[in-house]
Chains A and B, each alone.
Chain A
Amino acid sequence: MRPPARLRQHLPPRGRTGALVTWLTLLKLCAAHSATLVIHVQTADGHALAGAVVTARPLDGPARHAPPQHAVMDQVNRAFEPDLLVIAVGSTIQFPNSDSVSHQIYSFSPAHRFQLPLYRGEPYPPVLFEQAGVVTLGCNIHDEMLAYVLVTDAPYFGRTDADGAWSAEVAHGRYRVALWHPRLRDAGSDLERELTVNESDRAELTLRLQKPLQPAPLTGRPHSWDY
């Protein structure tokens, strides 16, 4: 059995698949009745939005969050790879530098302020993210480098696929669904919805942005250029 795509993307490279499958099974056992929650995300002009971060947290019952994971954000060709990670509170991220030039990573985001002094390779231990929020990362040498880590305390989260959809198996109950994207112009609160999952085995919700996204970062410019 393969975990759903939303979890697969957060699996550590060397696999804790067994633990996650167990966790999934436990989740299912705990839920007396479960259903598939499907969230569709559309841009303001009605196109499917891939890569948007969706979180769903139950409004009933005790608060819980997903188990911590270990993720990797590499630096390749003076860019973070990937440039967005969504992790559960308590997760760790390794930041190797695969470039031949040195990088100097920083975040001054309130959710986690940290610095990795000038380095190449993988000299530092993974960074622990203990507080929920958006952490914006930059390189103090190469200003064009920009990445995000969304640390969430929601038990269900993931990113929309190429069709703008994200789904999760959830127990019946009430949920607050929220949306985030690094280029979002809408206020996050404008895109939060409450939703009740009951009776049927499938619940769907479409979230449509009110404002167009900010333009995507330019690509293909030589790295040696001054920005």
Chain B
Amino acid sequence: MSRAALIVSLASFATLAGAPGARATDWEASLDVRLVNSDADHSYMNGGLGSARFDRTDSALELGRARFALTQALGETWSAHLDASVWDDKDAHPLGLTEAYLQFRPYPRDGYRLRVKAGAFYPPLSLENRASGWESPYTLSFSAINSWLATEVRTIGAEAQLDWLGSRTGHSFDLSVTGAVFGWNDQTGVVLAADGFLLTDRQTPLFGRVGRPGRAPLNGAQPFLELDGRPGAYAGVEARYLDRLVLRVLRYDNRADPAEVDSVAGVVAWHTRFTSAGLRLETESGWTLIAQGLDGDTEIAPPGFQATWPFRASFALISRRAGRHTLSARYDRFWVQVRGTDAGTQSGHAWTAAYAFDASARWRVSLEWLRVTSDSYNRADLSGTSPWATQTQVQLAVRYALGSAIR
């Protein structure tokens, strides 16, 4: 009941925001409902080791996501962005914010532009999650890399980006450099170490949890905690050729002290570092190619224990858009190894095929088939089953969206 009241009040706010006279307020609301079929035993969301969002215990009809987003201009060069969602997926709170930030975006000068964000938002890593609400317009489930970002990586801090707008000054290229400092990152890595890479579209709400408490291996892990008071940092570059090709490289280090322990909360700090590189190529005939690679490690070293988990993942996605139809295929590979007091490997690959039909600006129907094959030492340790498992998940999604920019 309280959830319904919340949605009603959000909708009223949306109506107010879109009223004439409320200039420079842009909003969006959407509802995504799924028919789901999965042969997985237990999803990571249900305290299991299934790598996808749903499992065989989930009912056929599921709430994919209910979302409300607002962008409010504050004067000429500042704006506030809020992105709120309801998933109905065992979250600590029924409604969560995935992003909430202030942006400073002064006018470009002499071909250069500065952009500053402060608050909570995604680091500029994904070339796949380009649709509203950090969703992928190609598939319902994100790649393993971007599923990981959705699950436990967020910038809660400040980021500055300097753009050289070459395409506005007679050149074919644009260049950007980005840097950020952030906190509340000391648990980034815990989901990766416990469950390996996932293929999901569940975005962990800010200061929210993943899965249910009391169920190993995740125990409702909370990725966005600050334990050691040491800010993390990242730096990245982006190059673009016209509107055809985007290249992104970013180096991330949460600079957590791996020896830090919060004995009250019963958590340790995870020192996570990685490098990501990706490219997206689009052609006039509607083809899109996206490839991304991730290489890093995470470490904990509380008294009497030390372990490091090197990890690697990559994917290639090809998509063809023809009018209202989008057909996409993606291949993911992922690998996490634990070295130290404990030892083992989680590795695997996944195939995803998806079709989306944009019936109108408001209605979208998507069908996705996902097959994940993985080897996880945790399966043998925790449930005594074979470390190898293959799971197949099929989803049919219907999404309705409305907003100030959607007609």
Contacts and interface: CB of A to CB of B under 8 A. Distances in A.
Nearest to A227: B243
A140 B26 CA distance: 15
A74 to B, nearest CB: 16
A3 B107 CA distance: 40
Interface of A: 99-102, 104, 106, 108, 115, 117-120, 136, 138, 140-141, 144, 146, 214-218, 220-227
Given A118-B73, A146-B168, A220-B321, A101 B107 contact: no
A100 B244 CA distance: 27
B26 A101 contact: yes
B407 A100 contact: yes
Contacts of A138: 108, 165, 168
Nearest to B133: A224
A17 B88 CA distance: 64
Nearest to B113: A140
Nearest to B108: A108
B167 A146 contact: yes
Interface residues of B, number: 37
Contacts of B244: 215, 218
B300 to A, nearest CB: 34
Given A100-B404, A215-B242, A223-B405, A140 B105 contact: yes
Given A115-B107, A136-B168, A140-B108, A218 B282 contact: yes
B284 A215 contact: yes
20 contacts: A100-B407, A101-B405, A102-B24, A108-B109, A108-B110, A118-B24, A119-B23, A120-B24, A136-B170, A140-B107, A141-B105, A214-B242, A215-B242, A215-B284, A217-B242, A225-B137, A226-B130, A226-B131, A227-B130, A227-B243
B180 to A, nearest CB: 17
B23 A102 contact: yes
B168 A144 contact: no
B169 interface: yes
B9 interface: no
A108 B137 contact: no
A224 B242 contact: no
Contacts of B168: 108, 136, 138, 146
B182 to A, nearest CB: 20
B111 interface: yes
Contacts of B385: none
A99 to B, nearest CB: 7
A118 B137 contact: no
B381 interface: no
B108 A106 contact: yes
Given A220-B323, A221-B282, 11 more contacts: A106-B108, A108-B107, A115-B107, A118-B73, A140-B105, A215-B284, A216-B284, A222-B131, A226-B129, A226-B130, A227-B243
A141 B106 CA distance: 10
B286 interface: yes
Contacts of B407: 100
A216 to B, nearest CB: 7
A133 to B, nearest CB: 12
B335 to A, nearest CB: 28
Interface string B372-407: 000000000000000000000000000000001111
B132 A224 contact: yes
Given A101-B405, A106-B107, A119-B23, A220 B286 contact: yes
Interface string B106-128: 01111101000000000000000
B15 interface: no
A146 B129 CA distance: 23
Given A108-B108, A225-B131, A118 B76 contact: yes
B12 interface: no
Contacts of A118: 23-24, 73, 76
Contact of A225 (B108, B111, B113, B130): B130
Given A108-B168, A224-B131, A218 B73 contact: no
A102 B243 contact: no
Contacts of A119: 23
A-B pairs with lowest CB-CB distance, top 10: A226-B130, A101-B405, A102-B24, A224-B132, A225-B130, A106-B107, A118-B24, A136-B168, A117-B76, A100-B404
B289 to A, nearest CB: 14
B67 to A, nearest CB: 12
Contacts of A99: 405
Nearest to B323: A220
A101 B286 CA distance: 26
Contacts of B286: 220
B108 A102 contact: no
Interface string B317-329: 0000101000000
Given A108-B111, A217-B242, A225-B131, A102 B73 contact: yes
A138 B282 CA distance: 21
A222 B356 CA distance: 13
A222 B137 CA distance: 9
